[in-house]
Amino acid sequence: MAAKTDTRERLKQDRAAATRELILVTAERLFAEEGLSVSNRQISAAAGQGNNSSVGYHFGGQVELVRAITHRHRRPVERIRARLVADAADDQDVRVWLSCLARPLPEYLESLPAPTYFARFGAQVATYPAYRRILREDAMSSPSLHAILERLDLLLPDLPVPVRNQRRSMTRQLMISTWAEHEHWLATHPRDPHMNWPQAATGLVDALIGLWQAPATIRL
């Protein structure tokens, strides 16, 4: 009797896990394509859930759902970034460290079945102040990201702190918008990609070098 109970409980847990994963995948796609105004009811319907409250049951509010989607991708991206940082070691080339900054997400997205939605999801989240802090929390929890920024500070010591902070912000916005636009292009032109993810990453690194090494003419 106990064995049957255990089996039923495992099956119940497996079904719940599968439903949760389906909701996450569906919500990520809808948020990416339509924005964060998509309701839990719409997500439930698109995920084929007869119960309109299934999103709330599994995740609570929308903030928790957005955080769960973000966390779903955080670990593999962090592994890639940590590997790139380890490979860079004590390299003194700014390009190497900007590559560590720019390449992890494209490398991860390239490893997923097409089309992907996470870059566009991130761009949507970044436009909502209430949710943007979730992205910032993830960034602040990344040891490898801190290592990259610290190394850039060491390699570019002549940049005044306010200018450096501004360029960090510009870099973040440029990466978010570039990856979202590239992901959209790949999704809508699957037979005619103007460049793949590695090529797009190289192009962005080229641009970031110009951004970070441009002379600071502001006098502070």
Cα of first residue to Cα of last residue in the chain, in angstroms, is: 76
For residue 179, the enclosing domain spans 74-220
CATH number at residue 34: 1.10.10
Radius of gyration of the CA atoms of the chain, in A: 20
pLDDT confidence of residue 220 = 66
Q: Tens digit of pLDDT for each residue in 13-26?
A: 668 688 899 999 99
**Same-domain pairing of 118 and 187:** yes
Given pLDDT bands bounded at 50, 70 and 90, which one contains residue 171? very high
65: in domain: no
Q: Which residue has the tokens 């709330």?
A: 56
Contact by Cβ (8 Å): 44, 54: yes
Distance separating alpha carbons of residues 104 and 206, to the nearest angstrom: 16
Amino acid identity for residue 178 in this structure: T
Amino acid identity for residue 32 in this structure: A
* pLDDT for 56 beyond 90: no
**Same-domain pairing of 132 and 195:** yes
13: in domain: yes
Q: Tens digit of pLDDT for each residue in 72-118?
A: 999 999 999 999 999 999 999 999 999 999 999 999 999 999 999 99
**Same-domain pairing of 86 and 46:** no
pTM for this one? 0.90
Contact by Cβ (8 Å): 52, 45: yes
**Same-domain pairing of 137 and 101:** yes
- The DSSP code for 49 is -
User: Residues 6 or more apart from 85 whose CB is under 8 A from it?
Assistant: 100, 144, 147, 148
Q: Tens digit of pLDDT for each residue in 198-213?
A: 999 999 999 999 999 9
If one counts every other C-beta atom within 10 angstroms of the C-beta of residue 128, the result is 15
**Same-domain pairing of 28 and 79:** no
Q: Does 176 or 136 have the greater pLDDT score?
A: 176
67: in domain: no
**Same-domain pairing of 35 and 113:** no
Q: How many domains does the chain have?
A: 2
Q: Is 51 helix (H, G, I), strand (E, B) or coil?
A: coil
Distance separating alpha carbons of residues 10 and 95, to the nearest angstrom: 50
- Mean pLDDT, residues 44-66 taken together: 83
Look up residue 42 and give its two tokens.
């719409």
Of 60, 86, 111, which closes a domain?
Answer: 60
**Same-domain pairing of 48 and 147:** no
